[in-house]
A and B are shown apart, each in its own frame.
Chain A
């Protein structure tokens, strides 16, 4: 599904629950935002439980080098890193897909590689919202990950691209979105005495 179709699906789901998003002036952008938040929650639950999610939930982007090193050398550069779900990154490497870059888990490990001047081993170190890479020759990264908010990824085309979510997960996400954000909004009272009319509050 494309992004607008995702929103439409969420709107219909909420209407089935008795919530008219138009009347409540809940903006479509807000519905999408909440959908993305719950999507991140659902996918992170899978990640925590070590359950593989399908590739349909992943997104590929390309990132150009944004700045050279702050020490004046050309030993490393920075690439913008979009937030990912539980840090889940499937692949970071060269744009042609031939070379996968190694992730350094600690700064000391990364620094030692830089100091040893072994540029043949391309690597990166995640630092806040940047990826620090040891190879000054690397100009562009190919990045495949479970991004937290697909909309924030600059290579995502809202009109042309399929939204990175497995269709099978959409009902689960909509249900969770309703429970987390909208269940108290629902004015319909349960019909506890089964007379086909909502049972009024005592």
Chain B
């Protein structure tokens, strides 16, 4: 059975002894105390979500394993606010902060008439501005009223970070010294100082046909690897795949490593962030991981693939006059009960004396 915003409003009135004629708990005031309660309770629950009981309370607000593609070693948080938008054919859009967009990355714009749907046809004019082609903006744009977001490049509904996995591709710096290929196998000779192991899934790139491939490898000698097309190492790559034994290949390994936080007062630490022990920063509305080499210089051999992020999303707005949408989609019953208790406290703080608030705490409790 659905529990709607109107139900919540009714229960809040019962809890606060505010009947229909009370009038003190108006809809705007109720909206204020309820939304204040949501923020407060999310903040209280967030540090405790190591326990499933607490996770369940806000689980609809927790997103896990969401993939984002970094650009310039970062993923932006929260939507890009549009500072100004040209009203014309092929308009330019200027944001209030660097957009970090790459031309062609799908974006969705809200608040500018005519710019609807997912837009990919744009070029980057500068760090703040993009130029859209194939669209015509209309009407009048009120500065800072619209925004843009991108499902895979911007964490638009970011509220709290829980965990981030850094997926990177590392050039192993191994030259291919020799290749043997026939109808049965392909074997590469590589330098001895390699740490490739049987079963690894490696990426090869940079051949003369510019075709990149993933291969499974079997290490058949300290300096020789045999290439396979399957994880079970049953189907060797043969000369039937002519583009698969290209000269000038570089060999890459993909790492999937969870990151620790990098705080500003820890940056003097000599244990730098790297691809194996990545450290993340969340500041200036961005999530950033920069891999360094052993002397503290950004590691050019490491390219970013993905950030896989667990996070608490922004809370859904609650409409206390709505009688359709089920709030249990977003919060469980225990959380809603806490929400009413906290909202009652807040309401009493607004409308009563300190003694009343104290009594309410004793009766209702907070957790």
A residues near B (Cβ < 8 Å) are 25, 27-30, 33, 61-64, 80, 95, 140, 142, 154-158, 160-161
Contact = CB atoms under 8 A, between A and B. Distances in A.
9 contacts: A25-B266, A27-B277, A29-B271, A30-B269, A95-B192, A155-B193, A156-B195, A160-B199, A160-B200
Contact of A28 (B194, B199, B222, B260): B260
Nearest to A21: B260
Nearest to B196: A157
Contacts, number: 51
Interface in B166-224: 191-197, 199-200, 222-223
Interface in B213-266: 222-223, 260-261, 263, 266
B279 interface: yes
Given A28-B277, A29-B274, 14 more contacts: A27-B269, A27-B271, A62-B192, A62-B222, A62-B223, A80-B193, A95-B192, A95-B222, A154-B194, A155-B193, A155-B194, A156-B195, A157-B197, A160-B199
Contacts of A62: 192-193, 222-223
A188 B271 CA distance: 27
Contacts of A161: 195, 197
Contact of A29 (B192, B193, B197, B277): B277
Interface in B304-345: none
A111 to B, nearest CB: 27
A28 to B, nearest CB: 6
Given A27-B260, A27-B277, A28-B277, A63 B193 contact: yes
What 10 pairs between A and B have smallest CB-CB spacing? A62-B192, A160-B197, A157-B195, A29-B277, A154-B193, A29-B271, A30-B271, A27-B271, A64-B192, A62-B222
Contacts of A29: 271, 274, 276-277
Contacts of A61: 193
A154 B271 CA distance: 19
B276 A158 contact: yes
A64 B189 CA distance: 13
Interface centre among A29, A64, A95 (most CB of B within 10 A): A29
A142 B271 CA distance: 31
A33 B271 contact: yes
A158 B274 CA distance: 13
A25 B263 contact: yes
B195 A154 contact: yes
Contact of B223 (A80, A140, A157, A158): A140
